[in-house]
Structure 1
């Protein structure tokens, strides 16, 4: 019986100790929670007070640097200013990025008008060889009399086959430029040199044919045509039964003004083959 009573007494003591410990923990939690709420409310009030009375130091003598660092209000306002400046800087950067993106997006249609549904202006021409399109050589073939070398090609075909004119005109074998800009200009001429045969004593079989193609520009403010490009090659007259076939091709860019004119001249015009698939001339605006 004594042992049973001792066990019961020990259990009661243990239960009482647990109960007291629980009560102490609960009281401590309530106390610290109240203190925390009080500190938070005090800090909030002090922060508002610092904001309301932020101009007090400006009215009185300025605090020393060490006093400022130890002043809670100064620390609070410095942190607040830092966060405000950071937020404003982030927002400004974001708005500037959006503005620059919109500006670049708005500038793209200038480079590519088709992006807004407006087709880009087409300025182009491709003309092909036609029969009797070479002017007869003048009595004096020097450059001083005409202002250009070779024999000029006229009456290009501009309507049939692969030929076309897009916002450009063809006048007397000259392409008329409608607007200023950088143009890509190209030309090809095809030559058929007849065979000299197998007859001995024909001196022409020892000679070479000088084939030259010129691209000229005429300006309204300048009387003499300006040579833009030329291409040349030396070809031997064929000795067999078949004729000799040769072609000259050249292309390049040039900045042209409105009313400028482009034309082609060649040497050995009598040997030129005016097949539209082999002899052609054209230009188009690239920028």
Structure 2
């Protein structure tokens, strides 16, 4: 009889396997139910927190915010406002630090050269020759030589004007400061054919050629003030057909608002006003 019962029922090993499988299924079911429960709760909590935060920002919550009261500190609305306040404070501090750093860098780097680039002029010669000689009784009676008025300032070639303007051959200053002023004039002498009897006169004329360049300024003072002059006295060879000479000078001077600077030369008829040869300019240094 015992052997027949043993053959008809499950063995102990099979029973253990069945119990193990049942236990695993039960645990899996419990884990699934628990996961679904907590997921649902977290979703509801997140929705509730988001709606509460949005309500705080949109002022849908009429309760006042007083961080000294424990009830308000425990509310989600207070937490949202506190986090927003911390974020704003952090951004303000970062912006302030960047601004201070930028100011310090500018102070350490020294004065900007932007003004130097903006206040400048370079005038070149033009073929339309126009000069004014010093005439007795005029305002220019104490100006030596003839003032050059044939300057090109309309950005043709290399010419330009920035925060200065040209009037009657004079550069008008608009900003007080220290300026570098420069000018070059190009002298070209072309010998004409002379008769044998006039050779001595031609030679005397060559010997008398003096090339002088002056730079003046007009101020509130009635008389013009000479800033610079440069001269050259050369004798052309008897066998030469022409002579070429250039005079350049430059220097730094303090100019005031409404001062006017200009160039004058002797023997104006010898000036070659080619734009690469004769020019006049100034720029603000400080």
What TM-score comes out, normalization by structure 1 length? 0.56
CA drift of 1:195 comes to: 1.7
Aligned ranges 1:161-180 → 2 under 5 Å = 161-180=157-176
CA drift of 1:236 comes to: 1.3
Structure 2 counterpart of 1:210: 210
Specify the SS of the correspondent of 2:153. Answer: coil
The C-alpha deviation readout for 1:88-133, integer Å capped at 9, x for no partner, is xxxxxxxxxxxxx99864523551367xxxx866100000111243
State whether structure 2 residue 152 is matched by structure 1 residue 157.
yes
Q: Quote the residue 1:280 is aligned against.
A: 279
C-alpha distance in structure 1 between counterparts of 2:160 and 2:146, whole Å: 24
Task: Give the distance between the partners of 1:168 and 1:133, measured in 2 at CA.
Answer: 22
**Secondary structure in structure 2 of the residue aligned to 1:275:** coil
CA 1:205/1:129 → structure 2, altered by over 3 Å: closer, same or farther? same
Which residues of structure 2 form unaligned runs of 5+? 1-100
- Between the aligned partners of 1:152 and 1:113, the Cα distance in structure 2 is 32
Residue 108 of structure 1 aligns to a residue whose secondary structure is helix
**SS, match of residue 223 in structure 1:** coil
Q: Is the 8 A contact 1:205 1:238 kept in 2?
A: no
Deviation at 1:134? 3.4
Corresponding residue number in structure 2 for 1:190: 186
Q: What is the rounded CA distance, in whole Å, between the counterparts of 1:144 and 1:198 in structure 2? A: 39
Matches within 5 A, 1:1-287: 105-108=105-108, 111-112=111-112, 122-138=118-134, 140=136, 146-159=141-154, 160-195=156-191, 197=193, 200=196, 201-206=199-204, 207-219=207-219, 221-240=220-239, 242-287=241-286
- Judged with a 3 Å threshold, the aligned counterparts in structure 2 of structure 1 residues 109 and 198 are, in CA distance, closer, same or farther, namely same
Q: Conserved in 1, the CA contact under 8 Å of 2:132 and 2:148?
A: no
The 1:262/1:209 distance shift into structure 2, 3 A limit, reads same
Question: Deviation of residue 176 (structure 1)?
Answer: 0.8
Distance in 1 (CA, whole Å) between partners of 2:141 and 2:257 is: 23
> 1:12-63, CA deviations, whole angstroms, 9 ceiling, x for partnerless residues?
xxxxxxxxxxxxxxxxxxxxxxxxxxxxxxxxxxxxxxxxxxxxxxxxxxxx
| C-alpha contact (below 8 Å) 2:134/2:140 kept by paired residues | no
Instruction: State the Cα RMSD in Å.
Output: 2.8
CA distance in 1, matches of 2:224, 2:116: 31
Cα distance 1:238–1:139, how it changes in 2: closer, same or farther (>3 A)?
farther
- Can you list the C-alpha shifts for 1:231-262, whole angstroms capped at 9, x where unaligned? 00002144335211111100000011111111
SS at match of 2:131: coil
Give the SS at the match of 2:187.
strand
Contact 1:197-1:239 at 8 Å conserved across structures: no
Q: 1:104 to 1:139 in 2, by over 3 A?
A: closer
Measured at CA, do residues 275 and 146 of structure 1 come closer, stay the same or move farther in structure 2, by a change above 3 Å?
A: same
SS in 2 for 1:112: coil
Q: CA deviation at 1:199?
A: 5.1
Q: CA deviation at 1:146?
A: 1.4
Partner of 2:96: none
